[in-house]
Amino acid sequence: MWSMACLLGIAAGVVLGLRSFGKRGKSSQLPSGPSPVELFSHLSRSAFVQEKWVQKHGEIFQTWLPFLNIVSIADPDATRDIAVSKGNNYRDPCLFGRDRRLAANIEEALGPGSSFPTFEEWRWRKQSLSGELSFAKLLRPEKGFLQYLLKLGKDMCRSLDRAETALQPIRINDLFSKAAAAAVLYLLFGREVDFDSKALEKSTEEIMEVLEEMLLPQMPAVRQETLAKRGRAHAVIDAVLGPELEDLVAEIDAGTWAENRHRSLLQALLIKEPRWRGRGLPTLLAEIRNFVNAGYEIQAFALSFTVGFLSEPRHGRAADDARRAAEDILRIGFKPETLLQRTNSMQAVFNEALRLLPPTPSLSGTAYDDFNIDVGGRSYGIAKGSVLNFQVLAGQRSTKFGSHPACYEPRRWTEGINQAKLMTYNYGAHSCPGRDVSSLEARVWLPMLLARYRFELARGVEQEVDSSGVHLRPKDGLKVHVHRLH
């Protein structure tokens, strides 16, 4: 579920000393990209520099650094081709996939997790998840997940009512963060779990800071500080997850199941795949920690950006369309058998925010062997050992997504654009297992909110984005004023 941004991919490549070698076949020479000086001058700057580089260097280009060849690709079709047809990162041989040393480095920061292993270690984990997070499973009445999403939606509405009464702006990301985290914990443990949403959000931020720090060279004293920060951040999550995990495992071992639980994701995984248990409780706790980190923060960012776009005056028509569609959905109700068909309009509203502001603006990987890729009608050779940087933000703003690609226009998704073009959730072997969960939350929560409230950006807020870290996040939580419609 986690994805590496451009900064991390480049930094890791420098630290790991990756080399390019091998002969290219008959193919066009890759255009040169930014110079090392230009590249490093932008490392700590906005992810939006991607768009400038594409205008200057094209949709594919390479940049040489000492011991490192970076190939940047913004073309969405080429990106998908590499990730799917050349990225069978389950077994050798494989042309493209995660770098094993980078995966090990990430696990040191986050703990051994389901997102980072490669090849066989990743295959069995991904296989055990297969189907467990699908729409078909999520919408089963006995799972209770749809009803829990509706409860969380009502909780958000009560918070918005209080904000309107107080005539105070609300940080919309706080609202979505709390709900998305609650949903993930419900899926994992099969029941509602109490937690401090502020503390959980803070621990997630610190874990991402640790990740960034660990991917760069560190002096011993600095490394000790980083490890201490990691310990504090993990402890916050573990305090919630540890006791729940022990209770769940005890129930499974005893052959009992508490009356207040539905069949949980963890129960299914432990029964389907013995290797999860074979790693021991501490490692399983680290796995769950990664599920939590990966499953809620990015989703909260994406939902917040969606509301942010609809709060801008220039998107008034889109907001009116979304409100009318949301009212129709609420009149019909959330029936499992028709929910997906009836809520496609909300998926379109959500997709358009994901397209323009993908929470993870870049993805990266490594070429395990030489291969060719077509971009713009020409074939280019990718050398073994190259670091591939997929410029998701720039690619999703290309004309391959229709006319006026820089504009927020949800109608493009109901008029023929295929959701499979979005790289927000990655493709192929390392596609996000939680994609359907993310979609279902948007399909339920957005109509519940948009049918009842009109949102207006607080004074001084202009859909600002904080791009200083690994992910694009709403700056200062994205403050909005709330106006009740009914």
Q: What is the pLDDT of residue 335?
A: 93
* Alpha-carbon gap, residue 378 to 60, rounded angstroms: 11
Block residue for tokens 């989703």: 299
Does pLDDT of 8 surpass 80? no
- The candidate with the shortest Cα–Cα distance to 157, out of 455, 464, 438, 440, is 455
* Alpha-carbon gap, residue 304 to 172, rounded angstroms: 6
Q: What is the dihedral of CA 352, 146, 262, 249, to 10 degrees?
A: 10
* Alpha-carbon gap, residue 6 to 393, rounded angstroms: 11
* Alpha-carbon gap, residue 16 to 67, rounded angstroms: 9
Average pLDDT, the chain: 86
Lowest mean per-residue pLDDT among 6-10, 17-21, 29-33, 369-373:
17-21
Which tens digits make up the pLDDT trace of 110-169? Answer: 887 766 777 888 888 888 888 899 999 999 998 899 999 999 999 999 999 999 999 899
Question: Between β-strands 378-382 and 465-466, what pairing exists: parallel, antiparallel or unpaired?
Answer: unpaired
Q: What is the pLDDT of residue 392?
A: 94
Block residue for tokens 């509602």: 192
* Encoded amino acid at 277, one letter: R
Backbone torsions φ then ψ of 112, nearest 5 degrees? -60, 125
> Which residues are bridge partners to 378 per DSSP?
375
More confident residue, 4 or 222: 222
What's the mean pLDDT in 13-38?
Answer: 60
Does pLDDT of 370 surpass 90? yes
| Range with top average pLDDT, 4-8, 39-43, 425-429 | 425-429
CB atoms within 10 A of CB 398: 17
CB 158 within 8 A of CB 453: no
Tokens of 447: 């109509």
Which tens digits make up the pLDDT trace of 343-359? Answer: 999 999 999 999 999 98
Q: What is the pLDDT of residue 11?
A: 43
More confident residue, 237 or 22: 237
Q: What is the dihedral of CA 347, 348, 352, 355, to 10 degrees?
A: 60
Dihedral sign for Cα 37, 40, 46, 50, please. positive
- The candidate with the shortest Cα–Cα distance to 470, out of 205, 190, 216, is 205
Length of the chain: 486
* Alpha-carbon gap, residue 109 to 295, rounded angstroms: 17
Name every residue whose Cβ is closer than 8 Å to that of residue 214 and which is 6 or more positions away in sequence: 105, 108, 109, 226
| Range with top average pLDDT, 124-133, 177-186, 412-421 | 177-186
Q: What is the pLDDT of residue 48?
A: 87
Q: Which domains does the chain have, with CATH numbers?
A: 6-484 (1.10.630.10)
CB 115 within 8 A of CB 429: no
Name every residue whose Cβ is closer than 8 Å to that of residue 407 and which is 6 or more positions away in sequence: none
What's the mean pLDDT in 450-479?
Answer: 88
- In this prediction, residue 449 has a pLDDT band, given cuts at 50, 70 and 90, of very high
Which tens digits make up the pLDDT trace of 377-387? Answer: 999 999 999 99
- The candidate with the shortest Cα–Cα distance to 333, out of 150, 140, 137, 138, is 150
Lowest mean per-residue pLDDT among 26-35, 154-163, 443-452:
26-35
* DSSP character string of 246-295: HHHHHHHHHT---TT-PPPHHHHHHHH-HHHHHT-HHHHHHHHHHHHHHH
* Encoded amino acid at 37, one letter: V
Q: Which residues of 300-337 are buried (b: 16+ CB within 10 A; e: fewer)?
A: bbbbbbbbbbbbbeebeebbebbbebbbebeeeebeee
Does pLDDT of 17 surpass 70? no
* Alpha-carbon gap, residue 208 to 210, rounded angstroms: 5
End-to-end alpha-carbon separation of the chain, Å? 38
